Structure 1
Amino acid sequence: MRGRPLLPFLSPLLALSVIAAACGGGGGEEGADGTGQENGGSSTTSNPAATTSSTPGPPPGPPTTRGPAPEVTVEPIGAMGGTVVLSGEPAYRGVLGQIDPDRNVVAPVALPPAPAAPGIAPLTGLPLDDPAVAGRPALLVKIDNTAKGRPQEALARADLVYEELIEGGFTRLAAVYHTHSPLLGPVRSGRTTDIALLGSLNEPIFAWSGANRVHAALLRRQDFVDLGAATIRNYFRADDRPGTYDLMTESDVLRDLAAQRDAGGAPPPHFEYRDATIGLPASAVAATGASIDFPSVSVEWTWEAATAGWARTQDGSRHVDAQDVPVVARNVVIAEVGVVGTGSVDLSGSSVDEQLFLGTGRGWVLSDG
């Protein structure tokens, strides 16, 4: 097992980066959706952690604190990298696929965030124009992040975005839309890393292009509304995008289908947000930015006073979406997580890994510069 970061972008856009992740392209940028199986053990490597450039400055004030963690019955996983054999398929050697959605495998270390106040978006902490939006399901969509897949549609309008490492050292995005309902894409395939994300959103709508048979079977054991391209026909190919990177769908259509099925649940708050009256913790250090060097992708977050957010740069170019809106996150969380091989390989022979986004670990939070 090795440590890497899993990153999210936070809101209005919240970015979550995982230093450790798996998706997509193998020896090149293609092949992410066609993965085979490997019954042998997986090799492990390590990737450099994120680095920050900082300037000294006095921390403003103490953080808020909440009460003790709730007591729950914990049934920990017996071993990392255990084997689960699906009927008629080669062995799965990951971890998240072993977890029952209703089972507690780690003890909480703090109370979860308090329920959002009426009229407040649970994932962003911002006021809603329509209070009824708070009660609808979140929509989690897997989105390509290679050069052929960018610019992505309406990425800057997502409530949360997780950046996962995939095959070949590239990254894929798992974007969560709750407040807005734009055109989505390019839609790509799922991985077992997504199990941890799906479980945190209380039966979200899941938009995905599919997965190999083993990963798809493990994903479908989870609690979500399956509106993927293998399940419904409400996807289309964009004429102005290259093949494989052209699968699109409309979030309004997916929400209507979920409502017709009376399926899905409102997402719980994932974070507690400060207001103008609450200062930063005493341990906070002023920083101008952070960089994350994935094997095949270089990412930088740079504080911009003009936008009061962290502007994202990928491979030396400012990241903008298909509407030419810069990707700027109010908060960025960099989480260092463990990684195990799943037993699957892509078409070029690269291991399809799984990031263990559960439990406790080291992380960095970028907020307010």
Structure 2
Amino acid sequence: MSSENSSQNPEQQRRKPRVAVVFGGRSSEHAISVVTAGAILRAIDREKYDVLPIGITTDGRWALTADDPERMAIQERTLPTVAGLAERTDGTVVLSVDPGNREVVYSEPGSVPKALGDVDVVFPVLHGPYGEDGTLQGLLELSGVPYVGAGVLASAVGQDKEYMKRVFISYGLPVGPYEVIRPREWNRDPAAARKRIVDFAGEHGWPLFIKPARGGSSMGISKVDSLAGLDEAVEEAQRHDPKILVESLLHGREIECGVLEFDDGPRASVPAEIPPVTSCDFYDFEAKYIDAANGMVPAPLTPEQTAEVQRLAVAAFDATSCEGLVRADFFLTEDGGFVINEINTMPGFTPISMYPRMWQESGIGYPELVDRLIQAALNRPTGLR
């Protein structure tokens, strides 16, 4: 705590905790982050917390934005942006990197910087690179500001699907077949890289899924049925991340499970099932957020299957050293076993997102879920833990 805070009078010390909701960002998931932030801003108890919305534009500028959840929703298939919410296009918000000073300052060209007061906790709801991958978490660690969700390592591992799978394998968790093509491999010898993918298909069969190794919201993913569409799929994936992941098609049901950290450790929610989508080849961005394909909560599983997927979800949470929350995604294969596909360390929190829906069915409503995450961050020690 700074000397300024320690010298506050009793009334100042009794002020409500201040939550900075940070959203937007430079990744291709910018708009979904804005939608998520709108839902969280709507749910935060204003009698209990002061709230400061901070949006990060697509070019990385931190902006002071309107506290207006209605403008942050998808409107007639139009996605919201931080630029459309910023109070000024040239103003900048700065968070101190001095651990003894949690003050946020707002600057405009030609004006004296204005102090916006201290921040007690940050709720980062950025998705993808430059926010969910440990970069923002590292900045907050340097600043000494508590924050919701996974730390630097878990965020980085949870963002990079290659290393996520490597960690899962090292902990004995079931993982499907995959191949990784790094940018230098594709750039230096595309024929050799292409052959590796074709050999992979020869072993595991077509179709293949070509996806960015560090991305989310199903952006940049293509389903490829033959060699003819491979180069185009790689090019699409590399628009989001130069490193790509190649996965075989797993025949089975898509099952998701939420994990939430309690005082006595992480617990799993009831699982959900994503039914087959008939309007497209797979559960892509349009199906998730525009057409709002609905999952089944709870998933129609046997008690034994439910217990097993909950066990695996908590094991994945622990294997990656996560904190706060995780959504774990699985396939229930035709032979009756579960295969973990990935985890999301900051899953979607939109009104239709599966993570809050699973916890709603588990007895924790959206406002309580948000409050639990904020309180856990406020009570978590900063620094190495």
Relative to the length of structure 2, the TM-score reads 0.24
Q: More helix by proportion, 1 or 2?
A: 2
Q: More strand by proportion, 1 or 2?
A: 1
Higher Rg of the two aligned structures: 2
